[in-house]
């Protein structure tokens, strides 16, 4: 085979980010409007990689690509193929470092494209173990939720170390996402929570437990289609995440805008400290207006979409 393609969509965390690192349950949904694509092509000798900010030998990649490099080497090892004769091109519409799962999606796309290039079947388990290599470089101590959500076509129920469960939602959801435009450093946000865990253990543990309970309640609301309850739980999650120290003025501002526009609930999504927020709208026209209002109020980008009951892609 001369050329092969692999792709993966972004992800959004509905409830439970940060608490997931401490073993609490979380709910994530696919974000089908943005995706990462990897194209593998046969070339004579070298192992090359190209993306928006680098074009050259895989051996000499900048720090930012070291995770993906380790993932590619391991994938070729698993495939029992030589580390040469390939040109891997990465394209992504997932804004990088905004809590939308770009690092996981890029790694998923790369692994899929390599397996497809060599016409090998890829199990979910092997995919996750290879992507985990890249995620460890990106986040330090990832719970695994990003790679599971970016490879699922359904909302998922996630708890570290346990089997991921797809969730059947009771009613179509209208989701709005807005990007503050500032890079959110997930690694730093995770370490802020870790520091607070040591400095303010009682308060921090309480928030983490509370975020776990919110996920449990949100799961019920999601399955029964009770969007009003789900919205309130999303608001509550934002309060707890702010307590943990991972929100900031830019996110809070967009969360307020969404609430003024009538959101059922709004919160930061992903690592925080920059990055994106998510809101639940009552219907598609409100979602559209909310996205417009968020853009007017300074969001770098805003999206809205329907998360359907059964089929999303």
The residue among 186 and 243 lying less far from ligand MEV, judged by its C-beta, is 186
Residue 190 found at the interface with ligand MEV (CB under 6 A): yes
Confirm or reject binding of residue 151 to ligand MEV (CB under 6 A). no
Q: Which stretch binds ligand MEV (CB under 6 A): 2-10, 42-50, 140-148, 210-218?
A: 140-148
Are residues 101 and 149 in contact, defined by beta-carbon separation less than 8 angstroms?
yes
Binding status of residue 95 toward ligand MEV by CB under 6 A: no
Show the tokens assigned to 54.
């680098």
Residue 44 per-residue DSSP state: S
Exactly one of 39, 65, 72, 146 binds ligand MEV (CB under 6 A); which one? 146
Q: How far apart are CA 169 and CA 189, in angstroms?
A: 30
Residue 311 CB burial class (10 angstroms; 0-12, 13-18, ≥19): exposed
Q: Which is nearer to ligand MEV, 86 or 145 (CB)?
A: 145
Asked if residue 192 lies in contact with residue 181, where contact means CB atoms within 8 angstroms, the answer is no
Which residue from 243, 255, 300, 312 is spatially nearest to 280, judged by alpha carbons? Answer: 255
Beta strand 301-307 with 173-179: parallel, antiparallel or unpaired?
Answer: antiparallel
Q: Smallest Cα–Cα separation from 187: which of 61, 64, 23, 72?
A: 64
Q: Report in angstroms how near the CB of residue 41 gets to ligand MEV at its nearest.
A: 31
**240 lies in the binding site for ligand MEV (CB under 6 A):** no
Contact flag: residue 17 with ligand MEV (CB under 6 A): yes
**The one segment of 17-25, 162-170, 176-184, 292-300 that binds ligand MEV by CB under 6 A:** 17-25
Based on the shown chain and the rule CB under 6 A, indicate whether residue 179 belongs to the binding site for ligand MEV: no
Q: Is 148 in the site for ligand MEV (CB under 6 A)?
A: no
Our finding on whether 219 is near ligand MEV (CB under 6 A) is: no
DSSP 302: E
For ligand MEV, the closer CB: 20 or 111: 20
**Could you tell me how many residues of this chain bind ligand MEV (CB under 6 A)?**
15
Measured from the CB atom, the residue of 106 and 114 that comes closer to ligand MEV is 106
User: 86 or 233: whose CB is closer to ligand MEV?
Assistant: 233
Q: Does 142 bind ligand MEV (CB under 6 A)?
A: yes
Asked whether position 67 contacts ligand MEV by CB under 6 A, the answer is no
**C-alpha closest to that of 147 among 267, 20, 281, 296:** 20
**Count of beta carbons in the 10 Å neighbourhood of residue 243:** 18
- Judged by CB under 6 A, does residue 204 bind ligand MEV? no
| H helical segments located in the chain | 66-79, 102-117, 124-139, 145-150, 186-199, 201-224, 227-244, 249-260, 284-296
Contact 268, 248 (CB under 8 A): no
Q: How far is the CB of 184 from ligand MEV (least distance, A)?
A: 9
Is 248 within 8 Å of 231 (Cβ atoms)? no
Q: Could you tell me which stretch among 11-19, 51-59, 64-72, 124-132 binds ligand MEV (CB under 6 A)? A: 11-19
Least distance between ligand MEV and beta carbon 101 (Å): 7
Contacts with ligand MEV by CB under 6 A lie at 13, 17-18, 20-21, 99, 139, 142-143, 145-146, 186, 190, 270-271
């Amino acid at each position: 085979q001369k050329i092969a393609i692999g792709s993966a969509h972004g992800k959004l965390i509905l409830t439970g980010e940060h608490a997931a690192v401490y073993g609490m349950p979380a709910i994530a949904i696919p974000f089908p409007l943005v995706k990462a694509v990897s194209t593998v092509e046969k070339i004579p000798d070298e192992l090359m990689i190209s993306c928006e900010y680098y074009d050259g030998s895989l051996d000499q990649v900048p720090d930012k690509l070291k995770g993906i490099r380790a993932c590619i080497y391991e994938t070729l090892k698993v495939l029992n193929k030589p580390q040469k004769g390939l040109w891997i091109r990465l394209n992504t519409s997932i804004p990088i470092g905004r809590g939308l799962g770009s690092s996981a999606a890029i790694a998923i796309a790369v692994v899929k494209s390599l397996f497809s290039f060599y016409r090998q079947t890829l199990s979910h388990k092997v995919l996750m173990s290879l992507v985990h290599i890249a995620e460890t470089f990106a986040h330090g101590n990832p719970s695994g939720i990003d790679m599971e959500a970016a490879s699922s076509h359904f909302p998922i129920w996630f708890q570290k170390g346990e089997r991921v469960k797809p969730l059947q939602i009771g009613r179509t959801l209208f989701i709005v996402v807005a990007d503050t435009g500032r890079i959110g450093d997930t690694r730093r946000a995770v370490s802020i929570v870790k520091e607070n865990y040591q400095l303010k253990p009682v308060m921090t543990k309480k928030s983490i437990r509370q975020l776990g309970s919110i996920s449990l309640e949100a799961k019920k609301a999601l399955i029964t289609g009770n969007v009003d309850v789900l919205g309130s739980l999303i608001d509550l999650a934002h309060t707890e995440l702010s307590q943990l120290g991972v929100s900031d003025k830019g996110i809070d501002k967009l969360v307020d805008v969404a609430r003024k526009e009538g959101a059922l609930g709004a919160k930061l999504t992903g690592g925080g400290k920059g990055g994106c927020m998510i809101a639940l709208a009552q219907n598609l026209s409100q979602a559209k207006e909310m996205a417009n209002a968020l853009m007017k109020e300074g969001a770098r980008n805003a999206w809205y979409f329907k998360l359907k009951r059964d089929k999303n892609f």
